[in-house]
Amino acid sequence: MSNALLNVALIGNPNAGKTSIFNLLTGMNQKVGNFPGVTMDKVSGTFRQNGTVANVIDLPGTYSIYPRSMDERVVFDVLSDKKAHDFPDKIVVIADASNLERNLLLFTEIQDLGLPTILVLSMLDVANRSGLNIDLSALEEQFNTTVLTINGRTGEGIQELKGVLLEDVPASKKLFYDINELSPEIIPVIKEKFELDNDYVAYQYAQQTYSKTFLSNDEKQFIADEKIKYNFCDRQFQTTETVERYKIIREKLSHIVTKTNLETTATRNQKIDKILTHKVYGYLIFFVILFALFQSIFAWAEPFMDYIDFGFAKLSSWAKTYLPSGVLTDLIAEGIIPGLGGVVIFIPQIALLFCFIAILEESGYMARVVFLMDKIMRKFGLNGKSVVPLISGVACAIPAIMAARNIESWKDRIITIFVTPFMSCSARLPVYAILIALVIPNEYLFGFLSVQGLALMALYLIGFFGAIFSALLMKKILKVKEQSYFIMELPIYRWPKWKNVWITIFSKSKTFVFEAGKIILAISIILWVLASYGPGENFTQADQKIMEKYPELSVDSPEYDDALNAHKLEYSYAGLLGKSIEPAIRPLGYDWKIGIALITSFAAREVFVGTIATIYSVGSEAEDESTIKDKLRAEINPYTGQPMYSIALGVSLMLFYAFAMQCMSTLAVVYRETKSWKWPVLQLIYMSAVAYIFALIAYQLLS
């Protein structure tokens, strides 16, 4: 059996169904959405067929080979350099059959590059339901290519595609549009200089000279000189080429596509859009959907969270009771089990959040939200495409910041990257959940409105307003005059594909447990060590210190044990660490224990809960089966004698975590996307300052 390697690139317009076909070919589970801009970078996977290993590359969606944004440039880069190791042997252009004319522009451009190209029609069932009938044989003949159809939902047609990919697919020798009509002089010169045999490739050398990174400076200068010599006009020729291609495509399709009953289907979609994108009803509906989302996150997840919390408390107690006494048992019962519990307890809420987001994306509603928010975004220095990163930021800031690549304007893109971390990501959800459960009463207004759900929604809205007002501030500071525009195709409404919804829920929950969980578990173990050992006499002679301080306590009494454990924790390495920043956080109402959590959660916000769980578990009694919430509720403020987690402290902490950066991975990705440390450093300083000021105001007003 041979192991020949075949490079295959999947290219198409945004939202044409590339990623669905990529998943069907490779068996992978890349995120799919009824929503443009899901794929931001090239993603590769493989499949084996008859001894051949095919390396399949899923590229970001683009409308043409002329890039306007960073994600579209990825497509251009892959097609530009024939010497690259992953230069595609075959191109599969995925075209949305319900919008064939626009999709075929990209196909004809790629075909004219002289690459072996296969045309795959997706969403043919949607086209048929819309009254479009496509003569596939005529399409093959008129466009001189192999045409296949694939149903991205059922996988029908995928085996035929695998078979065709292994066959000899000849490149088209005839140009779809003869580019020599635009500039007949320069093309022969470039072909001779660079030993090219394709007119359209030579034309692209002239059109996109400075984007071709493999050309030397001398070669670029040569082309630039020839362009001046032959009066080569980049933009004008691009416009003419596009117009002429569309003319030819339209003429050919008039003999291939017949339309019946189109008006009825179009009217149905338009009727729904008239309501969902209405300038008044549209916003009200969006607000109601958000309202229902946050209500259900609290109401539906709570019973499961309580079971998980109780289960880990029992497990910790069992470990202390039945395992042999010693350091290892203490580590398991006070460090590892509470740390794991701090991760697992939030799976129900995270699963619900991503379930709703996946349904909104799959149904096509999320694209309407983007359209709806465009006008508002522009008033704050952003544009409609900024909504994609901002909404994605509710899940995680890292892919959300990468999603800003499809914003053409530098200024809009920088502002979007800068403010996206204000959106409350899933890592903040555990922090919000535990604090809301502690300080917000579990009551209902009018018998059905959860007060805790309203508090959670308010925190997400605070994050959103923090983002747009920060964007407004940056708009005033950045004095760059740049025109931006917003073009977006609204996808059709369709029922969510439940398999995709389930994959999203599973993959996001898994990512949270295994990615965040690893950090939380590691920090929990380190914390246990830091909280269980300490320097100096105050720690090593803790018994003597307590007996001197509380001579009235019996050594065997629970009160003595509590005093001893509190003393040892205070003078442990962890306690000293927390106390080192206590003067700075005292005005916010925080003590040194919360200080430890602030320090450890700098790596990732969700570590706050794991840290708190570990800190309050160290030294707890064997029979203590208290849950995390019980332990926090029982904590007493040593200065006031009142419960530590008051409404003032809870709101202060929630506001701090709503605004603070507290995520090293986000800083790293901002550096990668901006190619400068200036923006992540400014972001960290600005967000930390905003977090501190709002937390301070909240505590001082409420306490």
The residue type found at 615 is: I
| Partner residues linked to 663 by β-bridges | 604
Q: DSSP state, 9?
A: E
Cα separation values, 405 from 9, 376, 527, Å:
20, 21, 39
pLDDT for the residue 622: 44
pLDDT for the residue 520: 67
pLDDT for the residue 176: 92
The maximal CA–CA distance of the chain, rounded, in angstroms, is 103
Is there a contact between 508 and 426 (Cβ–Cβ < 8 Å)? yes
* DSSP letter for each residue of 149-198: EE-TTT-TTHHHHHHHHHS--PPP-S-SS-GGGT-TTHHHHHHHHHT---
In angstroms, the CA 82 to CA 92 distance is 17
Rounded average pLDDT per 10-residue block, the chain, 703 residues: 75 85 80 51 80 88 81 78 84 92 93 93 86 91 93 88 90 87 88 89 88 84 91 88 94 89 64 88 88 77 83 86 85 80 77 82 83 80 76 76 77 90 86 88 82 90 92 83 63 80 80 70 77 83 83 77 78 86 91 84 73 65 59 78 88 94 80 87 95 95 89
Cα separation values, 133 from 161, 237, 364, 468, Å:
22, 34, 24, 45
The residue type found at 133 is: N
**Short-list 60, 61, 52, CA closest to 162:** 52
Q: Is the pTM of this model over 0.75?
A: no
The residue to which tokens 């070669």 are assigned: 219
